[in-house]
Structure 1
Amino acid sequence: MKKILNLGLGLMLLTVSAASAATITGAGSSFVYPLYTKMFAEYKKDHNVDVNYQSVGSGAGQQQIIARTVDFGASDNPMSDEAMKPAPGKLLQIPTAIGAVVPAYNLPGVSTKLNFTGKLLADIYLGKVKLWNDAAIKKLNPDVTLPGLPITVARRSDGSGTTAVFTDYLSKVSSEWKSKVGSANSVQWPVGVGGKGNDGVAGIVKSTPGAIGYVELTYAKQNNLLFGAVQNRAGKFIVADNGPAANAAQGVVIPADTRVSITNSANPAAYPISSFTYVIFYQDQKYANRSQADAKELKDLLNWMVTTGQQYNEPLDYAKLPSSVVNKAKALINSINYGGAKL
């Protein structure tokens, strides 16, 4: 009887151990949510670690890591020194992928990829270009029969890294946009209908004839939305894809802290509205009730994301990190400590 009881207890402990996988929590960017969903599912298979990631927008992700309610935040724009001031410890930020923001549209009777310039996109979002057959659009698309349909502008209603990337680009190509609206996670939009998350904006475009909205490339493809080519700094009209997005980082000086904008790249083969997407975490992991094991789990996950995990980027329409950026990211990850002690 004693042997049977011991065997039963052993099986019970084994079951509990198998069920109690470590859990890491993260929140932020919807831009990168399709990629992280895949990455974290694969990581669970290989490492028995659950990564609970909430797609709540980059602004909320930044707020949650400052409040230390998650193990990592995620944002498509790196946090500025000013934005990090409220943090109770030193924050580090590393890129995990390069993505593209595209102008997606719903234009009945038009199946052609339209051409856009930065100035045209700025004028549409300023409310200056109101009809699809406006002369400014016709000039760029002379072979397309454009309907006289009102343009419904779709934009984000939440704090968004995708918004930060899009408005950063518009501020570089339109002095009027820069002076009147500027760039940030949240801006005072002159016009438009708001949607929460990339999926919310994609939903507005999909359901509204005449709509245009800025969304991450994967969301446009997943929703079967048409999206246009955008003229880059070299004057070429570029359709977003992995290669053109990756090209945006080529020739850009990446600082040691990896915080950099790659919109409106000078590379003639680059897609101009491209961006790194970042994970944000504390350098010193000894805070609240975190254990050294928790810190090690996070460090291992981050190292995996910038190395082995990169294999999942391109199949989901994100570009992989250049090797030089991987090396800088690994250096930041390796600086993680626990109460000053190296992990």
Structure 2
Amino acid sequence: IAVVRRADGSGTTFLFTNYLSKVNPEWKSKIGEGTAVNWPTGAGGKGNEGVSAFVQRLPNSIGYVEYAYAKQNKQTHVSMRNATGAYVQPSDVAFKAAAAGADWAKSFYQVLTEQPGKDAWPITGATFIMMHAKQDKPGQATQALKFFDWAYTGGDKMADDLDYVPMPDSVKTVIRQSWSKITDGAGKPVAVK
């Protein structure tokens, strides 16, 4: 089997190598995890499109790309064994199950690989938006939070249309609750509405 991996650093590589580090002690000790690693083998493609092109050209090859890219390009995918031992296919249900298994109240920085749950896809990731807790431009912070509120209220269909998975409502609730911790220079919460 010909291995194809990313030649450039990426969040996709971080998730893939984080997963491999969790399920394979030898991988963890010899290669580890990161946005870029010292790959022991394989052809390197730049971006999802580079990996995909190599996999399409090389007989008997395997590679990794983000789900939306694979789905939009009608690429073959595999079933994978998750943390509970169940074999699952990548799907909205499997990604939501992984997100639902994380303890979002503890921290929003959650790496969603190997989450508990019989339906959870083992290599799932969330995209983060970070804001300073103390804002020196509270008006701009308010506008940003209004945008996020709009996205969480009406953006699920747009995410679905782009083959991305919206966060579960329970996670959106925890995120919205955290907004009260974003303050102006005087310590007053910035307005969201």
- Using structure 1 for the length normalisation, give the TM-score: 0.50
Alignment check: 8 A CA contact 1:306 1:329 kept: no
Change in Cα spacing, 1:335 to 1:207, as seen in structure 2 (3 Å) is farther
Q: In 2, Cα distance between the equivalents of 1:200 and 1:255?
A: 37
Alignment check: 8 A CA contact 1:166 1:273 kept: yes
One-letter code aligned to 2:88:
I
1:129-179 Cα deviation digits (max 9, x unpaired): xx3xxxxxxxxxxxxxxxxxxx1x222233311111111111111111111
Q: In 1, Cα distance between the equivalents of 2:179 and 2:44?
A: 36
What's 2:32 paired with? Answer: 182
Of 302, 308, 316, which residue of structure 1 is paired with 2:148? Answer: 302
Larger Rg: 1
Q: How does 1:205-244 map to 2 (within 5 A)?
A: 205-244=55-94
Give the Å deviation of 1:326: 0.7
Residue 327, structure 1, aligned to residue 173, structure 2? yes
Alignment check: 8 A CA contact 2:138 2:183 kept: no
* Root mean square deviation, CA, Å: 2.2
Of 12, 15, 19, which residue of structure 2 is paired with 1:165? Answer: 15
Aligned partner of residue 307 in structure 1, secondary structure: helix
Q: How does 1:36-51 map to 2 (within 5 A)?
A: none
Residue 342, structure 1, aligned to residue 183, structure 2? no
What's 1:270 paired with? Answer: 120
One-letter code aligned to 1:166:
F
Alignment check: 8 A CA contact 1:154 1:195 kept: yes
What's 1:23 paired with? Answer: none
Change in Cα spacing, 1:270 to 1:281, as seen in structure 2 (3 Å) is same
Aligned partner of residue 135 in structure 2, secondary structure: coil
Q: Between the two structures, name the one with larger relative contact order (CA 8 Å, sep ≥ 6).
A: 1
Q: In 2, Cα distance between the equivalents of 1:285 and 1:200?
A: 40
Alignment check: 8 A CA contact 1:299 1:336 kept: no
Give the Å deviation of 1:270: 1.6
Greater mean deviation of Cα atoms: 248-257 or 220-229: 248-257
Q: In 2, Cα distance between the equivalents of 1:339 and 1:154?
A: 49
Structure 2 unaligned spans of 5+: none
How many residues get paired? 189
Q: How does 1:129-208 map to 2 (within 5 A)?
A: 131=1, 151=2, 153-208=3-58
Q: How does 1:95-134 map to 2 (within 5 A)?
A: 131=1
Alignment check: 8 A CA contact 1:302 1:333 kept: no
Q: In 2, Cα distance between the equivalents of 1:252 and 1:299?
A: 23
Change in Cα spacing, 1:194 to 1:338, as seen in structure 2 (3 Å) is farther
Give the Å deviation of 1:264: 1.4
- Using structure 2 for the length normalisation, give the TM-score: 0.84
Aligned partner of residue 198 in structure 1, secondary structure: helix
Give the Å deviation of 1:214: 0.9
Alignment check: 8 A CA contact 1:285 1:295 kept: yes
What's 1:279 paired with? Answer: 129
Q: How does 1:78-93 map to 2 (within 5 A)?
A: none
Percent of counterpart pairs with the same letter? 36
Give the Å deviation of 1:246: 1.0
1:78-121 Cα deviation digits (max 9, x unpaired): xxxxxxxxxxxxxxxxxxxxxxxxxxxxxxxxxxxxxxxxxxxx
1:47-103 Cα deviation digits (max 9, x unpaired): xxxxxxxxxxxxxxxxxxxxxxxxxxxxxxxxxxxxxxxxxxxxxxxxxxxxxxxxx
Structure 1 unaligned spans of 5+: 1-130, 132-150
